[in-house]
Amino acid sequence: MQPFCKACGQPIWGRCLNALNANWHPEHFVCAGCGRPIDAASFQMHQGAPYHIQCHTNLIAPRCAYCARPMTNTFLVDYWGTHFCPEHQREYPPCTYCGRLIPPQQLEQPPAEAIRCPVCRSTAIETAQDARPFFNNVKQWISSQGLVYNNLPLSLQICGKTRLAEMLQDRGPTHAHGATVSSTTYDHNGRAVYNEIKGVAVLRGLPATLFQGVTVHELGHVWLIIHNIQGQPQWAEEGFCELLSYRLYQALNTPESQYHIQSIEQNLDPIYGEGFRRIRHRAEQLGWPHFLEAVRTTRRLLL
């Protein structure tokens, strides 16, 4: 049977090239990149079109976000869709808050308390003035969730790592971004009779989205203290507060908040991760309003 060229539709007399389940005049099977014939035995495909190997490398292959080299073999992709060469994972430190790699030219000078990428630095909460609009938004949101604070003035401190560590001496090292500042009065039998809330403290320099999640978490602790929901297992209390942060991140619905949602969901920590999953499961069973009311009236998180 007479072969016909797929490109020009004419019969092929003489040399016939068979590729992509079709017949071609050799000069008509051309690279979609440079337009020249493909005379090599191997070629690359992209979106249904053939390319010389080198043309595909130069024009189509993804390029490393850090060194700009084409990546034709193994490469990595981070949560944010950034493609990069595997060796950069060993060369560059990750951002403390979002995991993006930071090449030397993007590192802060002088170094801050945390390793921060330019994206996280761009929204960092460094002062009380920076924090005020976000703190006001958080207070409005948490009120919309049904958490009542009995007219307590909710104050905020922005502090460094050293000061925060002093506040967290009795809370353990895993709770590193925020603290609830309170004092407890005990009777002669050693029973707690009065808790005074002095404020909420959040680490200086957090990116705005994380700052809001940490603030909500700490306000969860404040709510538990105000309503005398005390003596609960640590996993239950931290799980409840993590659930509040999780719900806020869902409400924000930004790429950054989705990142923190995934971090909470995948957290393997037996206190924060497993605690969150157990409390979320119970809240989903009852529905949020009923769950919150049950916690408030029974003064128990283990319903």
| CATH class of residue range 17-59 | mainly beta
273 or 173, greater pLDDT = 273
User: Is the pLDDT score of 190 beyond 70?
Assistant: no
pLDDT at 81 (0 to 100): 94
DSSP the chain: ---B-TTT--B--S--EEETTEEE-GGGSB-TTT--B--SS--EEETTEEE-HHHHHHHTS-B-TTT--B--S--EE-TT--EE-TTHHHHSPBPTTT--B--GGGS-SS--SS---HHHHHT-B-SHHHHHHHHHHHHHHHHHTT---TT----EEEE-HHHHHHHTTTT-TT--SEEEEEEEEE-TTS-EEEEEEEEEEEETTB-HHHHHHHHHHHHHHHHHHHTT--S--HHHHHHHHHHHHHHHHHHH-SHHHHHHHHHHHT---TTHHHHHHHHHHHHHHH-HHHHHHHHHHHT-S--
pLDDT at 193 (0 to 100): 58
Helix/strand/coil (H, E, C) string of 98-135?
A: CCCECCHHHCCCCCCCCCCCHHHHHCCECCHHHHHHHH
User: Is the pLDDT score of 184 beyond 80?
Assistant: no
**CA-to-CA distance for 212 and 209, rounded, in angstroms?**
5
113 or 121, greater pLDDT = 121
The residue-averaged pLDDT of 115-138 equals: 96
156 neighbors 214 (Cβ within 8 angstroms): no
**CA-to-CA distance for 269 and 171, rounded, in angstroms?**
15
**CA-to-CA distance for 300 and 231, rounded, in angstroms?**
9
pLDDT at 186 (0 to 100): 67
User: Is the pLDDT score of 197 beyond 70?
Assistant: yes
83 neighbors 73 (Cβ within 8 angstroms): no
User: Is the pLDDT score of 266 beyond 70?
Assistant: yes
Please write the tens of the pLDDT for every residue from 224-247: 999 999 899 999 999 999 999 999
pLDDT at 187 (0 to 100): 65
pLDDT at 174 (0 to 100): 44
Please write the tens of the pLDDT for every residue from 31-70: 999 999 998 888 989 999 999 989 988 898 888 999 988 8
For residue 110, say if its preceding peptide bond is cis, omega within 30 degrees of 0.
yes
Domain ranges (residues) in the chain? 17-59, 63-122, 128-298
Least confidently predicted of 91-105, 170-184, 236-250? 170-184
Query: For the whole model, what pTM was predicted?
Result: 0.81
